[in-house]
Chains A and B, each alone.
Chain A
Amino acid sequence: MGSNIKIRFRIVLYLLVIVSIVLMLRLYFLQVMSGELYAELASENISREKTIAAPRGNIYDRNGKLLVKGIPVKAVAVEPLIVSKNEDLMKTLSECLDMSYEDIKQKVEQSNVSYIDRVILKQDIDTATMIYLKENSSKLPGVEVIDLYLREYDFGFLASHLLGYTGEIDEERLQSEKYEKDYEGGDQIGLTGLEEAYESMLKGKKGKIIYEVDPLGRPVNILDETGPISGNDLYLTIDIDLQRVVEEILYQSILEVRQKKIRDTDEYYKVPGGAVVVLDSKNGQVLAMASYPTYNPELFVGGITQTNWDTLNDPENYYPLMNRAVMLSFPPGSSIKMVPAYAGLAEEIISERGRLNCAGAWSGLGKDFIKYCWQRGGHGSLDIRGAIKNSCDIYFYQVGYGLFLKDNNMEELLQKYLRIFGFGSATGIDLPDEDEGLVPDKEWKKDYFKDQPGYDVWFPGDTVNMAIGQGDLLVTPLQMAQAYSILANRGLEYKPYLVKEIRDSEGNLFPDSSREEYQDLNLNEYFIEIIEDGMVQVVSPGGTAAGVFWDFPLNEIQIAGKSGTAEFYGRQDYAWFASYAPVGSPQYVIVAMLEEAGSGGSNVSPMIEKIYRYLFNID
């Protein structure tokens, strides 16, 4: 063999050594240097994580009656990114779920955004469909059957505004800070009412299942499984029986008032809606809260149809989804007068015995601004008690004017006292979307009328009007109830609330669900007693609501109340009645309001009377 060939063999041998070293170096790089990285990538590559829905907590009333419970159902969820590309799959789903192809396409495509990993196509499918889908899962990529907890309402319409409803989380919420962590597409969340306010308590903790999949995404092996933890149960301050009575009374009253014509006209009262709040005056617990018109929360179970949604939001139907006790504010009319009364006494504009004259008209603001009493004939000479009893406007005009004049309205005293009684800010009740109402002042007016020079100044007439609950002052029925509760408690403010206790699924009480007791506003108790005297006379013979309470055993159970009839430009009057009882040791605060229903004294106080009859067991 020639030396030439020997050399060539040697070259091949070197080549062999070199490629072996190259292979080994590459292996060293892949396995030793990047081994951990690849191990991580590999486990991501083959493992999938799936959540298991947690049963949502139940809601009970104060006596342990079950109001809302979670019911497990099976639902079909799809991964939009996979399914939207697969027309055949959507056709198959359309047949098997009995949905139109267009519906499915729309649902999948409108959610075709990267962060939505799951969209529910249909909730509450039957067993046959479920079995079909599960058996054919290999032919249905991106489709899965998941557990969902929907709601069941044992009391139908009752307290629907308080309870709220649940529904599928939307994209906007999924992106928001509050929901981005624990939620995923298809989750059921509380959308309104207590369901929304106590979402974090009710939702429970999802379970997790980590499993391995083959390259087609079929699960082959479970690696880790954590069971879900049920949500906590809410025990409300609401007494569902009282709630039923209150809702029925509200509904009946509205029907009755709608039969009435406005005096001296052929026009009937419209009464589009109304609200009633019943508080336990000793602690701020809401015993009942009714709002009309109302809605059936069952419409939302399994997703509301577009038609139903449109109906619920049609202005013709006066917005049944709004809780008028909390989410809307109205002009209060005379029921606000106890605030200027207290302010007048406290600021020494008036005194207990001091009398003011009512001649039916008042020209304190000048000849061009003559203001009239609702009683055109005038009330004559009145002290504070009489002014409240008769709801004399002219007396309160003068109080308001006095408050305005003091220190040249530097301190805006009337607004100051309104705020002390809780108006103009949320009560902090545990419901979402609470309206703050409006206590107008210089600053507000300047801002509100900034485009209309000349109107942006606070006039003495503004304070004067506000003293009888007119003008731009707006309050919610709940704020009114809270203010009357402050009177009933002689200056102690209890925050109204709806959830008495929170218990976990084993019944253990949540320690932090207790409430701070009350806040002492340091009001003058004697002044309050004076005002209370006046309010007691309102329902007594000669008072504005005397006719309604004529056969109520007031000698046994004394009621302090105040009617209100608020004018609202372009609409019929808003009618109010606010009250508490029994005077001496108050138990209940009841406030009722009817929109566009005329006089509070005659059209709203009957509701209050009926509710007291129920509460005190009077036939």
Chain B
Amino acid sequence: MIKRRKKSLRGFEDLGREKRRVKFDFILFFLVLAISSLGVLVIYSATRETLPGGVSDPRYYLKRQVIWLAAGIIICIAIQFINYRKIQRYWWLVLAMGIFSLAAVLLFGYEVHGSKSWVDLRFTTIQPSEFSKIFMIVALSAIMSKWRGEKVYHVTFKKVAISSLVALIFVVLVLLEPDYGTALIYFIIYIGLLFLSGANFLYLLSILGLTAGGFFLALKAGLIKQYQLDRILVFLKPDVSSSEGAGYNLYQSKLAIGSGGLLGKGLFLGKQTNLSYVPEHHTDFIFSVIGEEVGFVGAILVVLILGVIIWRCFYIASNSSDSFAMLLGSGIGLVILSQVVINIGMTIGIMPIIGIPLPFLSSGGSSLISMFLGIGLVENVYIWKEVRKSHEIAYQEFK
């Protein structure tokens, strides 16, 4: 802390020059760009030969992903022009957007694979539950952060009550679609934020306990069916080679990744995935394509890059200047962390089969753009932290 203060003092001395310098975490940004670009390549590899009905252009998915990537980058940069404190001030607006969009899905959405998660906007379709992850993080961060008038940052019972209510609304709305995977991610985000906010462990334990109780009741009441549970837990069976259902997906995914070996079969040469043996190979099972085509070395690299991205998020969060910024950055880190672990874990048979995308890599605009929005917010926290700090220090020195 002392060291940092010295650095900042030095910054104060060159205040005029420092203000003009663009502060931006290039490591985070370039890693995100790199991993997204790899995603584009792998998606092209996976979809060249398996196109949706009526499409003959082998670059169909490639083009879409490139457009979304461009949109993501633009949003990521554009958001830097708004100070995150402004976003914090209008958190209720963000909250309203999140709830409204999830409600809209239930009213106007259409079903894919039995879940009503999509809204058709004529020019494109979107999956509001992806964007709502970010909206929820903003809202929860605002609720749990230091309120105006509070002398010391402290997570009070009131904050916990309101935030848990907000999280519950989001989770329930997504469960109604139903999209259990995303609901799980929402839940993890909330628990993670509560943990990192420094809240008392009693709160954490009660939330976990209440959730477990609710889950048990839902199982008893038949809201969750045994077969759904079985499907999710199929990965626990030691020798999953069954040719049907979720076991089939897992078996094919393990075949694809395992057969990639040390160096992989080469980009565009993954037979298991290119021939569609692995279902959803360009979305939820994109990691199977990576494992097959670029092998252990490539897969490890992907895991490492994603790990560094997550680390940067938490690093920026923990070094931010206020509690909102800290929670916001952590929330983004938590989204990426939970999705990466569950998604990759699923494809290699150590996590339940839950349909959630792999951040930055899975094909799909909503996921990619909301992830870039998230990264944009993290960068925002990074950029506006330094400026504010300089001002603060300058103000203090002036006094």
| Interface positions of A (Cβ within 8 A of B) | 1-2, 4-6, 8-9, 12-13, 16-17, 19-20, 22-24, 26-28, 30-32, 34-39, 41-43, 45-46, 212-215, 220
B27 within 8 A of A: no
Across the interface, B196 reaches (CB within 8 A) one of A12, A27, A43, namely A12
A-B contact pairs, 29 of them (CB 8 A): A1-B323, A5-B318, A8-B196, A8-B198, A9-B317, A12-B314, A13-B311, A19-B337, A19-B341, A20-B307, A22-B350, A23-B350, A24-B300, A26-B350, A27-B257, A27-B291, A27-B303, A30-B258, A31-B258, A31-B261, A31-B296, A34-B258, A35-B259, A38-B257, A39-B261, A42-B259, A45-B255, A45-B272, A213-B275
Give chain B nearest CB distance to A215 CB in angstroms. Answer: 5
> With contacts A9-B318, A32-B296, A46-B277 known, is A4 near B198, CB below 8 A?
yes
Select one of A2, A9, A30, A45 contacting B348, CB under 8 A: A30
In the complex, what residues of B have CB within 8 A of residue A13's CB? Answer: 311, 314
**Which chain B residue has the least Cβ–Cβ distance from A38?**
B258
- State how many angstroms separate the Cβ of B239 from the closest Cβ of chain A: 12
CB proximity to A under 8 Å, residues B182-241: 192, 195-198
Residues of A near B197 (CB, < 8 A) are: 5
CA distance A213 to B275 in the complex (A): 8
B254 is an interface residue with CB less than 8 A from chain A: yes
A4-B198, A42-B255 known; A16+B307 contact, CB < 8 A: yes
- Could you tell me if A31 and B291 are in contact, using CB atoms closer than 8 angstroms? yes
The contact of B303 among A2, A20, A32, A212, by CB within 8 Å, is A20
Q: Report whether A37 and B258 are in contact in the complex, using a CB–CB cutoff of 8 Å.
A: yes
| B256 located at the interface, meaning its Cβ lies under 8 Å from any Cβ of chain A in the complex | yes
List, in ascending order, chain A residues with CB within 8 A of B181's CB.
none
Encode B306-324 as 1/0 by CB contact (under 8 A) with A: 0100110010011000010
Are B258's CB and A42's CB within 8 A?
Answer: yes
Q: Is B159 an interface residue (CB 8 A)?
A: no
Q: Which 5 A-B pairs rank lowest in CB-CB distance, beginning with the nearest? A: A38-B258, A42-B259, A35-B261, A31-B296, A39-B259
Interface membership of B304, Cβ < 8 A? yes
- Closest residue to B256 on the A side, CB-wise? A42
A9 touches B261 (CB 8 A): no
Cβ-defined contact, B311 with A38, below 8 A: no
B344 interfacial by beta-carbon distance below 8 Å: yes
Q: Answer yes or no: B262 CB below 8 A from chain A CBs.
A: yes
Seen from chain B, the residues whose Cβ lies within 8 Å of a Cβ on chain A are: 153, 192, 195-198, 252, 254-262, 271-272, 275-277, 291, 295-296, 299-300, 303-304, 307, 310-311, 314, 317-318, 323, 326, 330, 333, 337, 341, 344-345, 348-350
Docked Cα-Cα span, A37 to B241, in Å, equals 14
Measured between beta carbons, the chain B residues less than 8 angstroms from A43 are 259
**From residue A423, how far is it (CB to closest CB) to chain B in Å?**
62
Q: A5-B196, A212-B271 are in contact. List 15 more A-B contacts (CB 8 A).
A: A1-B323, A13-B314, A28-B296, A31-B299, A35-B258, A35-B260, A35-B296, A42-B258, A42-B271, A45-B277, A46-B277, A212-B275, A213-B275, A215-B275, A215-B277
Q: How far is the CB of A9 from chain B (nearest CB, A)?
A: 5
Min CB distance A95 to B, Å, is: 28
Task: Verify B299–A27 contact, CB threshold 8 A.
Answer: yes
Q: Is the CB of B198 within 8 A of A27?
A: no
**Distance, CA A2 to CA B259, complexed state (A):** 48
Closest to A220 in B: B275
A46: chain B residues at CB < 8 Å are: 271-272, 275, 277
How far apart sit A41 and B300, CA to CA, in the bound complex (Å)? 23
Report if A39-B307 is in contact (Cβ < 8 Å); known contacts: A27-B299, A31-B296, A215-B275: no
> Would you call A27 and B348 a contact (CB within 8 A)?
yes
CB closest chain-B residue, reference A27: B299
User: With A and B bound together, what is the CA distance between A22 and B272 in angstroms?
Assistant: 25
A19–B196 CA distance with the chains assembled, in angstroms: 18
State the Cβ distance, B146 to closest chain A Cβ, in Å. 11
The smallest C-beta distance from A410 to any residue of chain B, in angstroms, reads 72
Of chain A, the residue at the smallest CB distance from B334 is: A12
State in angstroms the CA–CA spacing of A5 and B258 once bound together: 40
Q: Are B275 and A214 in contact (CB under 8 A)?
A: yes
- State the Cβ distance, B352 to closest chain A Cβ, in Å: 15
Docked CA distance A213–B271 (Å): 10
A20 touching B275 by the CB < 8 A rule? no
A9–B196 touching, CB < 8 Å:
yes
Q: In the docked arrangement, what's the CA distance between A13 and B195, Å?
A: 13
Bound together, the chains give a CA A8 to CA B296 distance in angstroms of: 32
* Chain A contacts for B192, CB-based, 8 A: 12
> Which among B299, B317, B337, B349 is the interface contact of A16 at CB below 8 angstroms?
B337
CA distance A37 to B261 in the complex (A): 10
**A34-B258, A36-B261, A42-B258 given; A23·B275 CB < 8 A:** no
- Chain B minimum-CB-distance residue to A20: B307
Instruction: Decide yes or no: A23 and B344 within 8 Å by CB, A16-B307, A31-B258, A34-B258 being known contacts.
Output: yes
For residue B295, which residues in chain A have a CB less than 8 angstroms away from its CB?
A: 31
Inter-chain contact B254/A30, CB cutoff 8 Å? yes
Task: List A contacts of B196 (CB < 8 A).
Answer: 5, 8-9, 12
Cβ–Cβ < 8 Å partners of B252 in chain A: 45
B259 touches A16 (CB 8 A): no
Known interface pairs A38-B254, A38-B258; A6-B318 also in contact (CB < 8 Å): yes
Chain B residues positioned under 8 Å from A220 (CB to CB): 275
| Interfacial chain B residues near A39, Cβ < 8 Å | 258-259, 261
Beta-carbon nearest neighbor of A33 in chain B: B258
Closest to A218 in B: B275
* A34: B residues at CB distance < 8 A: 258
Q: Are A215 and B276 in contact (CB under 8 A)?
A: yes
> CA A20 – CA B255 in complex, angstroms?
21
Are B195's CB and A8's CB within 8 A? yes
**Contact residues in B for A41 (Cβ distance below 8 Å):** 255, 258-259
Complex Cα spacing A499 to B192, Å:
87
For the complex formed, measure the closest distance between the CB of A39 and the CB atoms of chain B, giving whole angstroms. 4
CB neighbours of B255 from chain A (8 A): 38, 41-42, 45
